[in-house]
C-alpha cells in the first residue's frame, strides 16, 4: 500500500510536468489546429538554456529563469513568422511535418551548443527536504514542482478564460475568417499562442530539471504528453491536465509493478487505448462530419 501510494505520488508530480507540456500542446492545437510535435525539443531547449544560464554562466536563479523564459518566448513568437505563416491552410501532414522538422532543428541546436546527449549541471533552487508521512517519502522539490506547475496552469486558465487576449485566442480557435472581420489580427494571436506555448513548455523544462536533472530525456516529455492530451481530449485544457496526471500515475505504477522498461512505452500504450476506446478523449468535443 505504501509502495502504491508512493508510486501515485511520484506519478502525480511527473504528470504535473506532462501537464505543462500538454498545456502548450493543447493551446496550439485549439487555436490553430496544429499538432505541435516540436514541443519536446522546445522543452529541451528551455531546460538546457536555464541550466546553462544558471550553472555555467553563473546568473542568479531568478534572472536565469526570466532570461530563459524571455528567450524562449521570442523563439516561439518568431516561429509563427517562419515557417508557420506560409503553412496556413496547408494540409495537416505538411504542417505536422514542419513541426517535426522544427523538432529536428531544435534538437540539432541543442546538440551543437551543448553536445550530444549532454547532461547539464542542474542548479537546484527548490528546497529538497525529505518528509515522511506514514511511510510515504515525499521530497519537497516534488511537492513544490507540483504546486508551481499547478499555479502556472491555474494562472494560464484564468488568463485564457477571463482576459481580453485570452478571449481573442478562443475566438481564433473558433474560426479565422470571422476573427479577421472583427478586426483582430489572426497572425498576431497565433504568434502569441506559440510564444505562450513555448514559455509554458520552458517552465515545464525548468521544473522537470528540478526533479530529474537536465538531460536529453527532457525531449521525450513533449511526445509523451500527447498521450495525456489525447486521453483528456485534445481541445480541452482541463482535460489535458487531468489526462496527463492519469498518464503520469499509470506510467509510474506500471513502472513500479511491471518493470522499469514499460515506463517509457506506457504513455504511448495509453495513447493507443484512448484513441481506440474514446477517440475524442474524456473531455474533448466530439466532431460531427458532413460532406
Partner 1 sequence: MSLPCGTFNTRYEQVFAVLRTRTHWAMIAALFMVLAILPLILSSHILTVINIMLIVMIAVLGLNIVTGYCGQINFGQAAFMAVGAYSSGLLMNHFGLSFWLCLPAAGIMATLVGILFGMPSVRVKGLYLALVTLAAQFIIIYVIETPLQSLTGGQWALRTSAPKLWGITFNTQLKLFYLIAGITALMTFFAKNLTRTRVGRNFVAVRDNDIAAEVMGINIFRTKVLAFAICSFYAGVAGSLWAHYQRAFTTTDFSFMQSIWFVGMMIVGGMGTTLGPILGTLFITLLDQLVLRFTPAMISVLPVLTAAQISSIAMFAFALVIIVFLVWEPRGLAHRWQIFKTSYRLWPFAY
- Residues lying near partner 1 in the complex (CB under 8 A) are found at 35, 37, 83, 86-87, 90, 92-94, 96-98, 100-105, 107-109, 111-112, 114-116, 223, 226-227, 230, 259, 261-262, 264-265, 268-269, 271-272, 275-276, 279, 289-291
DSSP 286: P
Task: Tell me: cis bond preceding 190? Omega within 30 of 0 counts.
Answer: no
Of residues 65 and 110, the one with the C-beta less far from partner 1: 110
Q: In angstroms, what is the minimal distance from the CB of 63 to partner 1?
A: 27
Q: In angstroms, what is the minimal distance from the CB of 5 to partner 1?
A: 26
Of residues 115 and 151, the one with the C-beta less far from partner 1: 115
Q: In angstroms, what is the minimal distance from the CB of 33 to partner 1?
A: 9
Q: In angstroms, what is the minimal distance from the CB of 50 to partner 1?
A: 20
Of residues 72 and 270, the one with the C-beta less far from partner 1: 270
Cα distance between residue 37 and residue 96, in whole Å: 7
Of residues 85 and 129, the one with the C-beta less far from partner 1: 85
Cα distance between residue 78 and residue 15, in whole Å: 29
Tell me which residue of 71, 61, 69, 9 sits closest to 245, measured CA to CA: 9
For cell 506510467, the residue is: 251
Of residues 125 and 268, the one with the C-beta less far from partner 1: 268
What are 82's three cell numbers? Answer: 517562419
What are 154's three cell numbers? Answer: 491555474
Cα distance between residue 208 and residue 213, in whole Å: 7
User: 71 with 49: CB under 8 angstroms?
Assistant: yes
- Per DSSP, what are the bridge partners of residue 131? 138
Q: In angstroms, what is the minimal distance from the CB of 133 to partner 1?
A: 33
Of residues 108 and 285, the one with the C-beta less far from partner 1: 108
Q: In angstroms, what is the minimal distance from the CB of 281 to partner 1?
A: 10
Cα distance between residue 252 and residue 261, in whole Å: 11
The angle that helices 219-232 and 237-257 make with each other, rounded to 10 degrees, is 110
Amino acid at each position: 500500500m505504501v509502495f502504491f501510494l508512493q508510486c501515485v505520488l511520484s506519478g502525480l508530480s511527473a504528470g504535473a510536468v506532462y501537464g505543462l507540456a500538454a498545456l502548450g500542446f493543447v493551446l496550439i492545437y485549439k487555436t490553430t489546429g496544429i499538432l505541435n510535435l516540436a514541443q519536446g525539443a522546445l522543452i529541451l531547449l528551455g531546460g538546457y538554456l536555464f541550466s546553462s544560464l544558471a550553472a555555467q554562466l553563473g546568473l542568479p536563479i531568478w534572472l536565469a529563469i526570466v532570461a530563459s523564459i524571455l528567450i524562449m518566448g521570442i523563439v516561439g513568437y518568431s516561429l509563427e513568422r517562419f515557417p508557420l505563416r506560409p503553412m496556413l491552410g496547408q494540409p495537416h501532414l505538411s504542417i505536422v511535418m514542419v513541426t517535426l522538422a522544427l523538432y529536428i532543428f531544435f534538437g540539432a541546436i541543442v546538440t551543437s551548443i551543448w553536445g550530444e546527449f549532454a547532461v547539464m549541471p542542474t542548479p537546484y533552487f527548490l528546497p529538497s527536504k525529505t518528509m515522511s508521512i506514514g511511510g510515504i517519502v515525499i521530497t519537497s522539490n516534488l511537492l513544490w514542482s507540483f504546486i508551481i506547475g499547478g499555479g502556472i496552469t491555474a494562472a494560464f486558465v484564468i488568463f485564457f478564460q477571463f482576459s481580453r487576449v485570452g478571449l481573442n485566442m478562443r475566438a481564433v480557435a473558433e474560426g479565422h475568417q470571422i476573427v479577421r472581420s472583427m478586426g483582430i489580427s489572426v497572425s498576431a494571436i497565433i504568434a502569441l499562442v506559440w510564444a505562450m506555448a513555448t514559455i509554458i513548455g520552458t517552465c515545464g523544462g525548468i521544473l522537470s530539471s528540478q526533479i530529474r536533472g537536465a538531460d536529453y530525456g527532457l525531449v521525450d516529455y513533449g511526445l509523451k504528453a500527447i498521450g495525456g492530451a489525447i486521453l483528456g481530449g485534445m481541445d480541452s485544457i482541463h482535460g489535458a491536465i487531468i489526462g496527463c496526471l492519469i498518464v503520469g500515475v499509470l506510467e509510474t505504477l506500471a513502472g513500479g509493478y511491471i518493470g522499469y522498461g514499460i515506463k517509457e512505452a506506457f504513455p504511448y500504450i495509453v495513447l493507443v487505448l484512448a484513441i481506440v476506446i474514446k477517440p475524442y478523449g474524456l473531455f474533448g468535443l466530439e466532431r460531427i462530419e458532413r460532406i
